[in-house]
Every structure is written in C-alpha cells, then in structure tokens.
C-alpha cells in the first residue's frame, strides 16, 4: 500500500509487492492448573482467541501455534514457528507458566521474541475473586522469571504488559510489529548502488559488506551503462504515456522545457525496467559526467522517475547515499514516507531548521499537488532538467538517518519536530521548516554529534519509538536528539 498519498495518486501508482511481515504467535499457561480450576482454561483460551483476532487485523501474516500447557507442547510449537521463518514471535502469557516453556521457543526460532501479558480487565474484583479467578490475572507473574532466563541465555528480552483491551498496550505491541516489518524488509532487500561517490563527500562512503552482515540485505553494484541500455530501448509511445502520468501527478511549471520533460520521462521508464530486471528495493546513485555526454544527461534526468519510484515504495537517493536509501526503505516499512533531505538554512526569527533537496522526493509528504519545475542547473552537480518541488505538509515529522561509527557499526538516528508554515525557496526543492522545540543552531550541533551523515529521510509523524524498536530487533544502537 502506498502510504499517505492522495487517492488519485495512489490509484495511478502500483506499489511494489513484497512478502508480508510474518508474526509467529503462541499462547499458554501452566497445565497443572486445569484440573484444579475447571473454569480457568476456557477463560484463558477465550483471551487467546481475542489476541489472535487482534493480530489478524494487522497488516501481517500470522502463524498461530496455538495454546500450550507444558514444555512438551511448547517444544512442538517452537518447531512449528522455527519452520515458519517468522520475523517476530509473540508469546502470550495468559497466566503463570514456567520459563522452561518459553525458552525453547526463543532458542529454536532464532528470531526476536516479544512477551505479552494482558490480564482480562483493568483490575480484579477482590470481593468476589477466588484463586481460580485470580490466576486469569497472573500473566505478569512470570515476566521477571522469563526475563532473567533470557538474559542468562544471551537472548534479548522485550515485553508489553497491560490488560486485554487496553489500546495503549496494543499501540506498544503495534510498534513491535512495525519494527518486525522493518527487519523483514531490510533482511530481504536488494539495494541498487549505481555510479560512484560524490567527489569529496567522505561521509557518504559505506561499507557494503557491513550492510549485508548487519541487515541481511544484498547490494547490487550497478553501472550507469545498465540504465543507459534500458533507456535506449524506451519507445516514443512509452515516453508519451509517462508524460501523461506525470501531468496527473504533478503541476507542470512553465519553466519546464518540453525536451527536458520528455527526457525525464524516458529516463523514468528506463528506471522502471532497471528496478524490475534487478528486482531492486532501493537505488542510490550519482554520476558527475562531462560536457553534456550521455551519462551526465542520465544523471540529470533522474528526479522525475526516482520520485515516482519512491512513491511506489522503492526509495531512491541521490549523491550515492546508500545509507539514506536504506533509512528511506525502513521509513516506508512503517508507513512514514521517507523523503531524501538535508539542511538548507536556519531561521532564527521563527526558530526553524529549513530542510530540503533537489530530489528525489517522496510525494506522500507533500502538502499539496507537487510541482515539476525546470532547472537551468543543479546546485553543485552537472546537468540540467526537471526537478520536483513541494512544501512538506504541516504537522509532526521525524528525521531519520543511518550513521556508521568508527568500528563500522551502523546506528539509527532520529529527532522529532513539527513542520511549520512559512516562506520557502521556490528553486525546485522539496522544502520544509521544522521546529525542534528550541534554538535551531543548537539542534544542528546536537544532531551533528550523533554521527549522522550529510543526508537523511524526512518522515511523516512522530515515529522515533517505532524506529527505536526496529533498531532493537536488528541489534543496533538507536540515538535520539531532543532539545527538551
């Protein structure tokens, strides 16, 4: 599903189809209780059915291993979930159960595990409850026990405690499901890296092997020749069709030259073929070029097609920014958009950081119908052509980037702010004025201390908690910048 796009744009753009997030679910309690308290098991099974139903509402595939009552049944469930290759396993502690029933599930699956304990209601009715009724509220009892055993086994522990219909608890559960979606998408992703480093930008250099060892992703190293040959095969009819699509997606500014518009459309069709032929989930690219040669023209004609692909859920980043395209893909997985961006300037009258870039752009974060503007020159880059311009919609946003530390490890970096309306440049950029709750200069200093690079993804909504959870499942650090 294309997140946050208007209905007309979403109808025009076919989203990339990917494997759904797979959630393994197992519920349980201690079988010794069943003969002692005959009414207990049916009540717990009803709670388990509610939990299953809530998970089935999510945009995920649910593998339900059923209700277990002892270590032997837990072992059978563990094997079922192991074979299912889940992205996250959820263990519902319906009442007390022993840690010996939970540990094998985590050990066999070799997949992140979330423990949830949701009692039937907000509180017990102490005046009428007996031991059997109390035990239905005893799911929290084994949480410290399971946490201790997980720690001793070297297994990361995470849990959500609450009551069955508590929406705030389910919101926390949803965050872990979103995080599992990020993990799933990244571990199966194929990232295209086309061209070469932007000269002098030392921060952009990324350890490709580290991408694969950290996330499980594959990096496909491409040449601009791969795009050139596909662009050469594009027909005039396909160019005309792509221009018609662009007219439906964008307002076309009078500065757009027909020749540049047609070239951007031709490159756009070629990019689609490149993505299909290599089964790509992202592309980061850059080519300097010289004297108007073909590769220079290809590099300058990328923004229309790359913005359309980004809107379809195939993020693209200029200036060879592989780490940013990865962050954009993670943002897409949680439905937060993720548009390529950098700092433009600071406004100390309004206390905002002005951000943007001359493409590619994510159409889902635009406040209105985006504009296609003709550019006589790209700042700091060779070539000319058309670029996407819009103001980011007002409201909460999250900046999200992928840093790389001296030891080579990756880190997720976030900050949350509010886009405020106000004057912005009309230069073919995606622009925004973000209030981070304090002095914008201080924010720049704090943000730069994290190890972030030159670019990052601008996401719709306050999504740092989702990104933090994703970092947890991926086993990497999360750093968050706040001025409050």
Q: Which residue has the tokens 């263990």?
A: 91
CB 73 within 8 A of CB 434: no
Mean pLDDT of the residues in the chain? 92
Query: What whole-number distance in Å separates Cα of residue 361 and Cα of residue 386?
Result: 12
pLDDT value of position 357: 81
Whether residue 6 has pLDDT greater than 90: no
Q: What is the pTM of this model?
A: 0.92
pLDDT value of position 384: 65
Whether residue 470 has pLDDT greater than 90: yes
Compute the C-alpha angle 340/341/346, nearest 5°: 170
In the chain the domains, ranked by start, together with CATH numbers, are 19-186 (3.40.50.10940), 188-481 (3.20.14)
Percent share of the chain, pLDDT over 70: 96
Q: What is the pLDDT of residues 39-68, one digit of tens each?
A: 999 999 999 999 999 999 988 999 999 999
Q: What is the pLDDT of residues 236-293, one digit of tens each?
A: 999 999 999 999 998 898 888 899 999 999 999 999 999 999 999 999 999 888 877 8
Sheet bearing 22-28, strands edge to edge: 61-68, 22-28, 88-93, 113-119, 159-163
Whether residue 216 has pLDDT greater than 60: yes
The residues, any chain, with a CB within 8 Å of residue 145's CB and separated by 6 or more, are: 98, 99
Q: Which range, of 385-389, 394-398, 452-456, averages the lowest pLDDT? A: 385-389
Q: What is the pLDDT of residues 299-346, one digit of tens each?
A: 889 999 999 999 999 999 989 999 999 999 999 999 998 888 999 999
Query: What whole-number distance in Å separates Cα of residue 472 and Cα of residue 484?
Result: 24
Whether residue 389 has pLDDT greater than 50: yes
Whether residue 367 has pLDDT greater than 90: no
pLDDT value of position 296: 87
Give per-residue burial for 115-128: e unless 16+ CB within 10 Å, then b: bbbbbbeeeeeeee
pLDDT value of position 5: 56
pLDDT value of position 10: 64
pLDDT category of residue 393 using cuts at 50, 70 and 90? confident
pLDDT value of position 208: 94
- What phi, psi does 86 have (nearest 5°)? -80, 155
- The helix/strand/coil state of 292 is coil
Candidates 421, 414, 425; CA nearest to 461 is: 414
Q: Where are the beta strands (DSSP E) in 85-241?
A: 88-93, 113-119, 159-163, 190-195, 218-222
Give per-residue burial for 277-308: e unless 16+ CB within 10 Å, then b: ebebbbbbbbbebeeeeebbbbbbbbbbbbbb
Q: Which range, of 174-183, 339-348, 367-376, 406-415, averages the lowest pLDDT? A: 367-376
Query: What whole-number distance in Å separates Cα of residue 456 and Cα of residue 356?
Result: 10
- The helix/strand/coil state of 227 is helix
pLDDT value of position 1: 36
pLDDT category of residue 376 using cuts at 50, 70 and 90? low
The residues, any chain, with a CB within 8 Å of residue 94's CB and separated by 6 or more, are: 27, 28, 29, 44, 47, 48, 67, 136, 139
Query: What whole-number distance in Å separates Cα of residue 35 and Cα of residue 32?
Result: 7
pLDDT value of position 312: 93
CB 209 within 8 A of CB 194: no
pLDDT, average across residues 166-178: 96
Query: What whole-number distance in Å separates Cα of residue 138 and Cα of residue 120?
Result: 10
Q: What is the pLDDT of residues 23-39, one digit of tens each?
A: 999 999 999 999 999 99
pLDDT value of position 377: 53
């Amino acid at each position: 599903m294309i997140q946050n796009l208007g209905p007309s744009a979403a109808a025009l753009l076919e989203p990339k189809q990917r494997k759904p997030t797979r959630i393994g679910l197992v519920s349980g309690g201690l079988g010794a209780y069943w003969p002692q308290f005959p009414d207990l098991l049916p009540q717990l099974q009803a709670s388990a059915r509610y939990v299953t139903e809530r998970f089935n509402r999510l945009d995920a595939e649910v593998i339900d291993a059923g209700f277990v009552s002892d270590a032997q049944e837990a072992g059978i469930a563990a094997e079922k979930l192991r074979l299912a290759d889940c992205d996250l396993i959820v263990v519902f502690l319906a009442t007390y159960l022993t840690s010996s029933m939970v540990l094998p599930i985590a050990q066999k699956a070799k997949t992140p595990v979330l423990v949830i304990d949701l009692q039937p209601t907000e509180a017990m009715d102490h005046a009428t409850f007996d031991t059997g009724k109390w035990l239905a509220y005893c799911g929290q009892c084994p949480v410290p026990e399971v946490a201790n055993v997980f720690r001793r086994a070297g297994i990361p522990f995470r849990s959500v405690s609450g009551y069955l219909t508590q929406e705030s608890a389910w919101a926390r559960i949803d965050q872990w499901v979103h995080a599992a979606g990020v993990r799933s998408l990244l571990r199966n992703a194929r990232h295209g890296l086309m061209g070469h480093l932007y000269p002098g930008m030392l921060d952009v250099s990324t350890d490709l092997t580290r991408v694969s060892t950290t996330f499980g992703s594959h990096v496909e190293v491409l040449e601009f020749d791969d795009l050139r040959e596909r662009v050469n095969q594009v027909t005039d009819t396909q160019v005309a069709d792509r221009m018609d699509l662009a007219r439906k997606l964008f307002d076309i500014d009078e500065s757009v030259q027909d020749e540049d518009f047609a070239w951007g459309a031709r490159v756009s069709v070629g990019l689609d073929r490149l993505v299909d032929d290599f089964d790509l989930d992202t592309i980061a690219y850059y080519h300097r070029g010289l004297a108007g040669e073909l590769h220079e023209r290809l590099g300058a004609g990328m923004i229309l097609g790359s913005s359309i692909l980004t809107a379809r859920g195939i993020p693209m980043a200029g200036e060879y920014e592989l780490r940013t395209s990865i962050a954009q893909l993670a943002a897409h997985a949680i439905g937060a958009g993720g548009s390529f961006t950098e700092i433009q300037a600071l406004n100390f009258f309004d206390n905002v950081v002005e951000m943007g870039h001359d493409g590619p752009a994510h159409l889902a974060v635009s406040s209105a119908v985006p504009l296609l503007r003709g550019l006589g020159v790209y700042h700091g880059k060779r070539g000319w052509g058309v670029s996407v311009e819009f103001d980011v919609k007002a409201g909460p946003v999250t900046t999200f980037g992928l840093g790389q530390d001296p030891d080579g490890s990756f880190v997720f970096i976030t900050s949350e702010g509010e886009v405020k309306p106000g004057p912005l440049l009309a230069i073919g950029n995606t622009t925004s004025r973000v209030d981070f709750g304090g002095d914008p200069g201080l924010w720049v200093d704090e943000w730069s201390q994290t190890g972030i690079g030159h670019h990052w993804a601008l996401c719709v909504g306050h999504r740092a908690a989702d990104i933090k959870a994703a970092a947890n499942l991926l086993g990497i650090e999360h750093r968050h910048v706040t001025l409050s």
